[in-house]
């Protein structure tokens, strides 16, 4: 059983192609992880092992972030139908000191050259906290 989960919130109203959705979600997850590592001052704790990246927890308490690296983490994709809804989630997360990495696509392949906010990812969180922000949203 996972100890934490990472929520990815996509904008369904944009009608992105499947590959674009995957790319945007990847950008959001990566940015949220790096922002969380910086927030916890853990960038120097990354360790490469034969099994992949781990987070050295020696002398430090476990957090949802360290669980993400060392035990895995559920990644759940949900959706909203507008930029306004996406930004409301980001604002609520910020009020609670939770990282929400909002991704703005440059518009080179879709969106007619217009920079467009496509999705966000929350930092790894305990389920109950993630659910407070996104538990009412439908699965993508």
DSSP the chain: --S-EEEEEEEGGG---HHHHHHHHHHHHHHHHHHHHHHTT-GGGEEEETTEEEE--TTS---HHHHHHHT--EEEEEEESSHHHHHHHHHHHHHTT--EEEEEE--SSSGGG--EEEEEEEPPB-HHHHHHHHTTSPB-
pLDDT the model gives residue 99:
98
Tens of pLDDT, residues 48-103: 999 888 999 888 888 999 989 888 889 999 999 999 999 999 999 999 999 999 99
Q: Where are the domains of the chain?
A: 5-134
3 and 71 Cβ atoms separated by less than 8 Å: yes
Rounded to two decimals, the pTM is: 0.94
CATH number of 5-134, picked from 3.40.50.150, 3.40.1490.10, 3.20.20.70, 3.40.50.2300: 3.40.1490.10
Average pLDDT along the chain = 94
109 — pLDDT class (breaks 50, 70, 90):
confident
pLDDT the model gives residue 1:
63
Instruction: Determine the average pLDDT of the residues in 31-39.
Output: 97
């Amino acid at each position: 059983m996972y100890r934490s989960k990472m929520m990815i919130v996509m904008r369904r109203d944009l009608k992105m192609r499947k590959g674009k959705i995957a790319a945007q979600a990847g950008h959001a997850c990566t940015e949220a992880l790096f922002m969380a590592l910086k927030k916890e001052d853990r960038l120097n704790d990354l360790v490469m092992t034969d099994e992949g990246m781990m987070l050295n927890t020696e002398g430090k308490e476990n957090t949802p972030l360290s669980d993400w690296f060392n035990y895995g983490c559920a990644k759940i994709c949900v959706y909203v139908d507008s930029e306004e809804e996406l930004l409301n989630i980001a604002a609520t997360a910020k009020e609670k000191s939770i990282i929400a990495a909002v991704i703005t696509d440059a518009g080179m392949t879709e969106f007619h050259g217009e920079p467009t906010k496509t999705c966000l990812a929350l930092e790894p969180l305990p389920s109950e906290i993630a659910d407070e922000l996104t538990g009412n949203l439908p699965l993508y």
